[in-house]
Structure 1
C-alpha cells in the first residue's frame, strides 16, 4: 500500500490501539514498525537472557547528561515495550486529572477531567481484557462498568501477605492485569513481569491491538522500517523517510500519527529540524523533549528466614493507602504493588550475587515495588547531541518516595518480614517514560492539543506516552491505550 490514508509510526500501545480503533472505518492504514516479529525461542524463558545478557535489548547506545552510556529498556518489535511489560493496566485516580500538591511541588493536572476521559478508560479495559475487582481500593475512581474479567487469583503465599496487611488496617487488593494466567502458565512456570510474551497469555499491544487491526484488509504492517525523518511543508507533514534493508524510502499520507514512545517520538521530531523549523518539528513551544518523567521506583524485598515464598508469578497485589495522602501535610506518596516473582536466577542476573545466595534470598522474601509521581520539569529532558540520544532526567518529588519506602518498610516488618532490603531503579532506566510532547490547550506551553493533534502541524497526531501531562503514580499503559481510543474517535468524527 503505497498511498495510505493514515500512516502510523510505531506499533506499541499507542500505535497498535489507534490502528485497531481506526481499522473498521475502511481507511487505508500503513503501520511502520522498526523491529521484526518477536519469535518464540529458548531465551524467552531464560532469566539470564532476559535480565542478564540483554538478549532482547536493542543494539544501541544512549547517553546520560554526564557523557556516560547505557543500553535503554526500549524494545523494537511489533507490540513494542508491551511485549515485555508486567501487564498492569491501571487507571489514574480521578484526582490525578486536577492540580495536585505533592511534597516536591504541584502536578499541573490535565486539560480534561477524569469524568470526560472515563469512557475511554472503560473501552480500553474491555479491549485489553483487564482482570480486576472493584470495591477494595478506597482511591479507585468511578467505573461505568465492572472489570470485564475477575482478578488473577492470589497464590497462597500472596494471599497470606494480603491478609497480614489487612490485619494492620490497610487495603491491599487485586492489581488490574491484562493476563490470562492459565494460558500464560502453559508456556512455563514463571512470572509474566519482564518476560517476553511469545507463547500467549499477556494482553499486549501486539496480541490485542495489532491483531485486531490486521484482521482488516485495509491495514498493512511494514516491519524492519526505521523511521529517520519527518518532512514538513506549509504546516503539514508531507512525507516520512525510513530505512529498510539498507534502502532509504519515503511514504506519504494525508494523516500521520507518531507513536514511537516518549523518547523516540521526541527525538524524531528534533531530528527532523529544517530551515523553517530550526528547533525541530511541532516545537514552536520549545517543549519537545522537555518535561521527561519516569516515576521514582524502588524494589522492596521483605525477608523472613523462616518463611518460604512458593509462588510462581506473584504480581497480583496493589495497595493505594498512601496514593493520595501519607505525607507530613497529607501529601500523596504513591502506589505499592508486587513485582513479578523474583527467582534466584533473576536476582543473580540483576545483582551479580552468587546463585546459591540469590536463590536463598529470593525464596525467603516477598517482592514489592513502590512508585511515586515524577513531576514535569522543562529541564528534565531528552535531546540530541551529534545525532546521539541524550537523556537528562532530573528526579523530582524524591522526599515523597523516601517517605513511601519508609512506610512500606515499617508495615512489612510488622507483618512478619523483619529484614527489608531496597534497591531504587537507576536514573538511566526509562521504564515508564512519558511527558516529552505534553498535551495542553495552550500552544505556547504544550506540543499537542487535548485530542493529541500537533498545535503546529495540522495533519500530525502524537499518540503515545510522550503526550501525558503528568506521570501520576500509575503504570501508563492503560492511559496510553485510552488516549489512542479517544484520538481515533476524534479523527473519525472530524473526517465525517
Structure 2
C-alpha cells in the first residue's frame, strides 16, 4: 500500500481480523499490524508431546505477578492470535448474561445493551466462521433468528453413549456449536483440534475465516512481525500515530482511525505504556482493571472397564446448571467436553514418579470434561505494566461456583457409571479466555469505551477484542467478540467511517 492507510488495525485475532472482514469492500485503505508470523505447518503441530509437554508453541516471554514471581503465559503470537489453538467453540452468551445477575461470588453487571441488539450479528458471525451446530437441545439457548449454516459435527460412538448416559441422569446434553470441518481436520492428522494449532483449513479461526475474507479486498494489507509499542495522541485527544517495531526497525504510522485488537491483556498494556508513560484512554482509571479469565478446571470421568477410543471427543455440553443449581439456586456454569487427552498431557501435570502405564490406562478410559464458571469483574483484578513488562494481578472471584459445579457433575458422572472422577483447576498460565480491562459502558466515568467500542477519551480510537467485554459470562467468548466486531464494522460503514 503506497498511500497512508485510513484505518490501522492492531492485531489479527478474533477481534481484529473480524472487524477487518466487516470493513472489506468499504473502500477504506486498511493496514493490519500483527506482531507474529503465519503459523507454519510442521510435525510439531500434530504432536501431543510438542504442544503439551515441550511447549513448542508457547511464547518466548514472561509476565510477572505483583510479588515478582515470573510465569510463561498462554498467549500465542501468530497471525490469527490465540484462535490458532482455540477449541473452535462458537457459543453465544445466553440472553441472561446481558442482564444484571446475582452469582455466588457477587453481581455480574448488565451490558450497555441487551442480547437482542447483538443477535443479528451473532448470526452473521456464525456464517463467517461456518458454525456447525444444532438448535433445540439446550434449555438455556437464546433466540436464534437464523439457523446454523452447517450440520453439527457428529458424536463419536463413545460420546453418543455418554450423551445417552447423561440423558438417563435427567440432564440435557446438547451439541456444541463448532467452527470445524471435521473431514478436513482429520485429513491433516487424527488428533483433536482443541489446543492444537491450525495449520490448514480444518478449523475456522481468525486467520482461516475472517482474515481470509478481509484480504480478498485489495485495499486491506497485512504486515507481520510488527510489534506495536505505544500510541501517540495529539493535543486534541485524537490518536495521531502508532509506534511499532518491524523486524528490528522502529517505525511510526499515521492513520485516520485506529482499532486496537491486541487481546485484552496486550491492548491494556499498550494503552498503559502510551502517552509518554502516563497512559491513554484512562480518564476513568479503568484501563487494565476488571480483568476476567473464567474459573476453569479439567475433570476426568474414568470407567476402568470401558475404553474411550475417541479421536476428537469435543461435541457435547451441559448447561443444566448454567443459570441455577448453586446455593440459593444461584448460577454455576457451563460444562463441555475437552479435546481427547492422552498420557503426554497427563504427564505434563502429574508427579514425576507416576508410571507411564498408569497414565496410558487413565487416558484410555477417561471421558475428559471442562468446567467453566463466570469470573466477576473486580477493579483490583488488573493488568499493569513496568516498562515493557506485563504484571498480572488476577483476583479470582466466584470460586464457590466452580467447586459447586464440580460437585454436581461428579455425582452425575459416578451415577452414570464412572466410579473414578478426578479434577484439576487451570491456572494463570492459560489466560485463553481473557476479557475485561477496557470495558465498554454508558458512563465515561466508569468505563473506557462506549457501546460501539470507541474510547470515550479519543474520538478516533476503538478497542475491539476481549477487553471490551463487561462480563465474562461462563461460555467461550470468541463468537461474542466476533459478533461485536461485525456490529462495530457495520456502524463504521454506516457512519461513513467517521471518527
TM-score tier (shorter): over 0.9
For residue 268 of structure 1, what is the aligned residue in structure 2? Answer: 270
Q: Which residue of 1 aligns with 2:252?
A: 250
Q: Write the deviation string for residues 172-194 of structure 1: whole angstroms up to 9, x where unpaired.
A: 01011000011100011110000
1:358 alignment partner in structure 2: 359
Structure 2 partner of 1:344: 343
CA–CA distance in structure 2, aligned partners of residues 112 and 401 of structure 1 = 28
Partners of 1:466 and 1:136 in 2: CA distance: 31
Q: In structure 2, do the counterparts of structure 1 residues 386 and 230 end up closer, same or farther at CA, with 3 Å as the change threshold?
A: closer
Stretches of 4+ aligned residues off by more than 6 angstroms = none
What do residues 207-255 of structure 1 show as CA deviations (whole Å, max 9, x unaligned)?
Answer: 0111111111111100000000100012111000110121100111100
Q: Is the 8 A contact 1:302 1:417 kept in 2?
A: yes
Determine the C-alpha separation between the residues in 1 that align with 2:301 and 2:13.
Answer: 34
Q: Find the aligned partners of 1:237 and 1:354 in 2 and give their Cα distance.
A: 58
1:315-370 deviations in Å (ceiling 9; x for gaps): 00000000000012110000000000001222223435443222111001110011
Q: Are 1:16 and 1:205, in contact at CA under 8 Å, matched by a contact in 2?
A: yes
Answer yes or no: is 1:171 the counterpart of 2:160: no
Aligned positions of 1:4-19 closer than 5 A = 4-19=5-20
The verdict on how the C-alpha distance between 1:386 and 1:243 changes in structure 2, with shifts beyond 3 A counting, is: closer
Q: Corresponding residue for 1:193?
A: 194
CA distance in 2, matches of 1:229, 1:106: 34
**1:34 counterpart residue number:** 35
Contact persistence 2:127–2:148 (CA under 8 A): yes
Q: How does 1:41-440 map to 2 (within 5 A)?
A: 41-233=42-234, 234-274=236-276, 279-351=278-350, 353-440=354-441
TM-score, normalised via structure 1 length: 0.98
- 1:443 alignment partner in structure 2: 444
Given that residues 51 and 350 in structure 1 are in contact (C-alpha distance below 8 angstroms), is that contact kept between their aligned partners in structure 2?
A: no
RMSD of aligned residue pairs (Cα, Å): 1.0
Does structure 2 retain, via aligned residues, the 8 Å contact 1:309–1:366?
A: yes
Mapped to 2, the partners of 1:247 and 1:423 lie a distance apart of 44
Give the drift of 1:484: 0.4
Unaligned runs of 5+ residues in structure 2 are none
Contact 2:123-2:145 at 8 Å conserved across structures: yes
C-alpha distance in structure 2 between counterparts of 1:98 and 1:122, whole Å: 20
Rounded to whole Å, the distance in 2 between the matches of 1:427 and 1:205 is: 24
CA deviation after TM superposition for structure 1 residue 57, in Å: 1.2
Distance 1:428 1:81 in 2: 13
List per-residue Cα deviations over 1:369-412 (Å, max 9, x = no partner): 11000000000001012431001101100111111110000000
Q: How far, CA to CA, are the matches of 2:48 and 2:357 in structure 1? A: 15
- Greater Cα offset, 357-366 or 444-453: 357-366
Q: Distance in 1 between matches of 2:273 and 2:334?
A: 36
Aligned residue-pair number: 493
CA deviations on 1:125-161 (whole Å, 9 max, x unpaired) are: 1111111101110000000011111111000100111
Q: Flag structure 1 segments of 5+ consecutive residues without an equivalent.
A: none
